[in-house]
A and B are shown apart, each in its own frame.
Chain A
Amino acid sequence: MFGLRALREAFRPPFEFSEILRQTHSLGWLSTPLIALSGFSVGIVMSMHTRSSLERFGAESLIPAALAIAMIKETGPLVTGLLVSGRVGAGIGAELGGMRVTEQIDALEALAVDSFKYLVVTRLIACLIALPILTTVFNFAAITGGYLAETIISGMTLDLYYQRAFSSINFVDLIPATLKTMVFGFVIATVSSYLGYTTTGGAEGVGRASTRSVVFSSILLIIVNVVLVKTILFMFPGNQG
């Protein structure tokens, strides 16, 4: 109900553009270093593991494509979602929880501001915008990390690596997998906003809201991912391989 209310309120004025921009910067842009660095590291590691498996069959040339498919279709969206739920979910839960117990949310209401719209809806929209972009950053960083690992071992050129990586990627691989992260954004924003917005019990309550925001949004995100993958496979049968 909380999430549906947030979606409904998102289409009603006033639209709080400046606060949405501020939240998109805070939740999205400031997450970029974490996402890029993580993607780069995951790309290197995945490339090394993929090499050790594929070279047994003499199929090292498939490493770029295997890595790109794994990243873009599943690893990138899921890991990005989990990383964002850790950084952003905890942040939203703690910030709104802190505002609740220090009466800042009441102060907003007393100043004739719709606190739900100002605090919850803006964060929801920021997450919906940020997640697909961060996922794209993660994928790009991972493929670049994979290239680095591969070029050190085999001396493969950048052009050849990217050509092989994207040779087996098409529209039905990229778009649904990236856009599903908007659902992850919805889950992270609504779960953590709900827990923060309804916090009780002082500093202990704030800590609890922050921890639960990460735990619940991560678990829900993993469960929702199963449903989304099944739905994507059903809607885009060409996405099987």
Chain B
Amino acid sequence: MKERPATIRFDSVSKSFGSRKVLDSLSLEIPRGKAYCILGRSGTGKSVTLKLMIGLLQPDSGQIYIGDRQISGMDSQDLAAVRKDMGFLFQNSALFDSISVGENVAFPLRRNGDDSEDEIREKVERTLEQLGLEKEYDKMPSELSGGMRKRAGLARVLVYEPSILLVDEPSAGLDPITSAEIDELLLNLKAENKVTLVVVTHNIPSARRIGDQLVMLRDGKIAAQGSPEDLEQSDDEFVSHFMTAQGGG
């Protein structure tokens, strides 16, 4: 298993789109091996926060650290080196639709690894089997259901064993059973591989299952942070209401 690096740290990070300020001097630290769930109403900057963590967006001000490396303003080659140890599961999986599921999963190994074709094939088959997709190797992404696409996206990330996994809305568009299966996969990852998990979700039951800590964003700042129980008992009416509004309590 790889050595686990990295905490993730935001120091006074701000980000605006046009005149709309999405993050306002946000500071946050996520220790290694922990699972953090980021909550909040739509448009409060949850996905932006994830994209800032992996350098897909650059902050207007403030610093972002992965381990001891400051990634904001980093050049593309150094950023690529940092990203090799991070995984990002997109809301709609973002599978490459011109290649098969197996080729999608093999893609990061071919690009960034030095494994032989036989080793790549073996790793891809093993990862697909772990996720119950062993029969889908040769299928195209368009032939998969929503849940299968999500698992295939997860397989593409897990195959290279990142130490940090960023997950955007794992439950979006999935039925409750498939959603719970994805949660279980994420929990296993954290328990067995000591992966640092950052999950953006609207699904409170899912956040309660996965998260060691929940972070609630409001108006570009952290409105509340703590265990699920802490947030439910918050004096802030917005926070406690948000936690119970979806039957989370």
Contacts and interface: CB of A to CB of B under 8 A. Distances in A.
Given A106-B51, A107-B90, A114 B76 contact: yes
Given A109-B56, A112-B111, A102 B83 contact: no
B108 interface: yes
Contacts, number: 51
A61 interface: no
Contacts of A103: 90-92, 94
Interface residues of A, number: 14
Interface string B90-107: 111011111000000001
Contacts of A153: none
A200 to B, nearest CB: 12
A102 B92 contact: yes
A103 B89 CA distance: 11
Given A112-B83, A114-B80, A107 B94 contact: yes
A120 to B, nearest CB: 14
A107 B149 CA distance: 14
Contact of A112 (B90, B112, B156): B112
A11 to B, nearest CB: 16
Contacts of B156: 111
A10 to B, nearest CB: 16
A102 B94 contact: yes
Contact of A111 (B83, B92, B98): B83
B93 to A, nearest CB: 9
B111 A104 contact: no
A104 to B, nearest CB: 5
A110 interface: yes
Interface in B88-142: 88, 90-92, 94-98, 107-108, 111-112
A112 B94 contact: no
A217 to B, nearest CB: 22
Contacts of B54: 110
Nearest to A108: B96
Interface residues of B, number: 25
Contacts of A112: 80-81, 83-84, 108, 111-112
Chain A interface secondary structure, helix, strand, loop or mixed?
helix
Contacts of A109: 55-56, 83
B86 interface: yes
Nearest to A22: B98
Nearest to B98: A95
Given A102-B97, A104-B97, A106-B51, A111 B90 contact: no
Interface in B56-101: 56, 76, 80-81, 83-84, 86-88, 90-92, 94-98
Given A102-B97, A110-B86, A110-B90, 7 more contacts: A103-B92, A104-B94, A106-B88, A107-B95, A110-B87, A112-B112, A114-B80
15 contacts: A95-B98, A102-B92, A102-B94, A103-B90, A103-B94, A104-B97, A109-B55, A109-B56, A110-B54, A110-B83, A111-B111, A111-B156, A112-B84, A112-B112, A113-B80
- Which 9 pairs between the two chains have the least Cβ-Cβ distance? A107-B94, A110-B88, A112-B80, A103-B94, A112-B83, A112-B84, A111-B108, A103-B90, A104-B94
